[in-house]
Each structure stands twice: as structure tokens, then as C-alpha cells.
Amino acid sequence: MSGSLPEGWSVDRLDLDRDLPGILAIDRESFVSPWGAETYEWEARHSDVARVFVLRPPEGPPVAYCAAWLVFDELHINNMAVAPAWRRRGLGAALLEQVLARTSREGARRATLEVRASNLAARGLYERFGFRTVAVRRGYYTNPVEDALILWREAENGP
């Protein structure tokens, strides 16, 4: 289940000036409907529940990120992506492990997310971390139209 961070890498909270260009590039490469800069800026400046974590190599821009909300004792993962050039190296697992541990220390006891039914790589990652499909949102995604699977992770001592 675990993914350890490579030597010298870090998971940090979003620094808008430093990280936003890299996150937007990852979004453009990963999603058909990426968030815009204004969404990240609003979340970072105005939301008490928003948490955006970035995975950084020793030098250069972030190579992965996770945008989530911590609402009372529930972590809602909104977006998580690894830059295509960095996929299949365990970095998504390392990031997710850090996000779950950090938000657990902030009080999260459950975690939820939605994922495209066809996204087998992401589903496999989440399942390794104990997420289970509990419902389906029919036709939730567009371009192409596709169902979203709603996953939950329950944990006695944190998500």
C-alpha cells in the first residue's frame, strides 16, 4: 500500500506563486476539463477547508498534486494527478499516503472521492489504500460521457 518519497523529494502545501504554473500544466495534461488558475487561487486564499498538496522533486516544478477539502472529519479528494512523464513510479502512492496521514492528524476519519469508471490505474491506487466503491453517478463526466464511481475509505484512526 505505501509509497515512500524518493530521497530529497517533499510533499508541501501549495505555494501559489511557486507551484501554480506546474499544477496548471499537470491539469492540462491530465483532465479534459481542467480547473483554471482562478479556482486554485480562490481555494488557497478564501477557503478554510481547502488543502492542496504538491509533490516536489529536489529541483523544478511539482510533478504531482492533490486538491482536497477537509470538512469536519471527512477528507474529500477533488483532484489528484501525476504529470504523465512521472507516472508509474509510485509517486501517486507516495503523495496519497502523505495526504491521508497529514489530514488524519487534522482530524479526518474518512475519505471520499469520485473517479472515472474507466480510470483503472487510479482505481487500483485507491483500492490499495482501502477505498471501496459505494455508489455510481451515472453520466457524471462529460467529454466523453462516463459514470463516476464514488469511493469511500473508512478508518478507525484516520482516513
Angle, to 10 degrees, between the axis of helix 120-128 and the axis of helix 91-105? Answer: 50
8 A C-beta contact, residue 82 and residue 122? no
Around Cβ 131, how many Cβ atoms within 10 Å?
24
| Sequence-ordered strand ranges (E) for 58-142 | 64-71, 74-82, 110-116, 132-141
- Residue 114 is a catalytic residue: yes
- Residue 126 is a catalytic residue: yes
Question: Annotated catalytic residue: which of 40, 65, 126, 141?
Answer: 126
Question: Annotated catalytic residue: which of 29, 114, 154, 156?
Answer: 114
* Cα dihedral 7, 68, 17, 28 in deg (nearest 10): 90
Angle, to 10 degrees, between the axis of helix 37-46 and the axis of helix 16-30? Answer: 140
Which residues are identified as catalytic? 114, 126
